[in-house]
Structure 1
């Protein structure tokens, strides 16, 4: 299973920078004047006390753009929903998966079509299981 090391958001933590404006992905157009100040914590974090950062380790979720080394933002205050991407605790380990919720069953689904070593995990009553938090953002290095 993929492993994670969380980083909690400090209530006083903030990162403010300048939002220069929109940038076109078509023909070049230089960014003009500063539009506004942009606080990345305010933009990316709704619930500071229940939001954590994790670094992705493993490749089981590459088809949903969670690659090895990416940072995911996980909010424990968001109610899990069918097919959400979530960090789950199962039998002593943390993993990030797509969560398929049925009336009487839960499955943890990998998202890597090119690697058949990752299989769906059916959660049973025998498992020590918790949907720990819902993934809200993925931060990638280019």
Structure 2
């Protein structure tokens, strides 16, 4: 007969990653992060970003924006003086949104998926 496994007490239902990561599937997209702009926000190069276009970005949101035709991932910072896209890496310049830029907030980052093989010590 044998004894039941002690781990059996901790078995949970299967996790549906679609349900967890994409509660709004029609407006959820996945982007591969390219670069070190957001390393101090725990977004390493090659991370898979879960982006929900149905969410309204607010001050402090991590967003995917299109600036002058190029996708960027940054913090959205809004105050009474200016609006900017802030990098989470002190070696990368923030983008102050002025009339010189064509910019659109494309979506809000709602999840970050990384694989341990892609995590390397970052030298900034």
Shift of residue 121 of structure 1?
0.8
TM-score, normalised with respect to structure 1: 0.72
Question: Deviations for 1:74-130, whole angstroms, at most 9, x for unmatched residues?
Answer: 0000000001100000101000001101245310111113xx2x1111001232110
| 1:31–1:88 Cα change, 3 Å | farther
Corresponding position of 2:105: 131
Q: Secondary structure at the match of 2:8?
A: coil
Q: 2:68 aligns with which of 83, 86, 91?
A: 91
Q: What's 1:109 paired with? A: 86
Q: Indicate how the Cα distance of structure 1 residues 31 and 55 shifts in structure 2: closer, same or farther if over 3 A, else same.
A: farther
1:76 corresponds in structure 2 to 53
Q: Structure 1: which 5+ residue stretches go unaligned?
A: 1-29
From the two aligned structures, give the one with the greater strand fraction: 1
CA distance in 1, matches of 2:108, 2:69: 19
Shift of 1:37: 2.3
The residue number in structure 2 matching 1:55 is 32
TM-score, reference length from structure 2? 0.82
Structure 2 stretches lacking a partner, 5+ long = 1-5, 117-124
Secondary structure of 1:32's counterpart equals helix
1:119 aligned residue (93, 97, 113)? 93
The structure where helix makes up a greater share of residues is 2
Larger Rg: 2
Q: Give RMSD over aligned pairs.
A: 1.5
Q: Distance in 2 between matches of 1:46 and 1:36?
A: 18
